[in-house]
């Protein structure tokens, strides 16, 4: 089994993560990529990567 973090492709630069495990998850945290194209959750290490074809408004 791999210990690599789960990578989720997203279409927005501001995302929320709750661990995805319901009661077994973690508190919901909001993250903003700012000028980057990915961000990592500080609780579960899940990586959120911006879809290169996403139409991002305001950036």
Distance (Å, whole) CA 31 – CA 15: 5
Q: 2.60.40.420, 2.60.260.40, 3.40.190.80, 3.40.50.300: which CATH number matches 7-50?
A: 2.60.260.40
Helices (H), the chain: none
Look at residue 2 in the predicted model and tell me its pLDDT. 60
Look at residue 23 in the predicted model and tell me its pLDDT. 78
Tell me phi and psi for residue 42, to 5 degrees: -75, -15
**Verdict on whether the full-model pTM lies above 0.85:** no
Distances (CA, A) of 35 to 14, 19, 56, 58: 11, 24, 11, 11
What is the SS3 assignment for 57? coil
What is the tens place of the pLDDT at every residue in 20-54?
Answer: 877 788 999 999 999 999 999 999 999 999 999 98
Structure tokens at 17: 């993560």
Structure tokens at 33: 């990529």
């Amino acid at each position: 089994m791999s210990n690599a973090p789960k990578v989720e492709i997203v279409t927005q630069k501001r995302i929320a993560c709750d661990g995805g495990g319901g009661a077994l998850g973690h508190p919901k945290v909001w993250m903003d990529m700012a000028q980057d194209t990915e961000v990592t959750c500080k609780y579960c290490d899940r990586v959120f990567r911006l879809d290169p074809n996403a139409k991002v408004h305001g950036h």
